[in-house]
Structure 1
Amino acid sequence: MKYRCDIIIKVPLRTCVETFLNSENMKHWQRGLQSMEHVSGTPGEFGAKMKLHYELGKRQMVLLETITHKRIPHEWHAIYSTEGMDNIQENYFEATPENHTQWISINEFLPLSFMTRLMILLMPKTFKKQSLQYMKDFKTFVENGTSVAHA
Structure 2
Amino acid sequence: MKYICTTIINLSVEKTVRLWTDEDHFDEWQDGFESIELLDGEKHAVGSKSKIIIKQGKRKLELIETIISNNLPTEKKALYEHIHMSNTQTTRFERISDSRTRFTSEVEYTKFNGFMPKLMAKLFSGMFQKQSQKWMDQFKEFAEGVQWS
TM-score range, shorter chain: over 0.9
Aligned positions of 1:49-64 closer than 5 A: 49-64=49-64
- CA distances 1:94-113 after superposition (whole Å, capped 9, x unpaired): 01136311011000112133
What residue in structure 2 maps to residue 119 of structure 1? 120
SS in structure 2 opposite 1:5?
Answer: strand
Aligned positions of 1:25-104 closer than 5 A: 25-97=25-97, 99-104=99-104
What residue in structure 2 maps to residue 9 of structure 1? 9
Aligned length: 146
RMSD: 1.5
- CA distances 1:93-136 after superposition (whole Å, capped 9, x unpaired): 10113631101100011213332111100101100000001101
SS in structure 2 opposite 1:31?
Answer: coil
- Aligned-partner Cα distance in 1 for 2:76–2:94: 12
Unaligned runs of 5+ in 1: 146-151
Structure 1 runs (4+) greater than 2 angstroms displaced: 112-115
TM-score by length of 2: 0.92
TM-score by length of 1: 0.91
- Aligned-partner Cα distance in 2 for 1:25–1:43: 16
Unaligned runs of 5+ in 2: none
Asked if 1:142 is matched to 2:143, the reply is yes
SS in structure 2 opposite 1:43?
Answer: coil
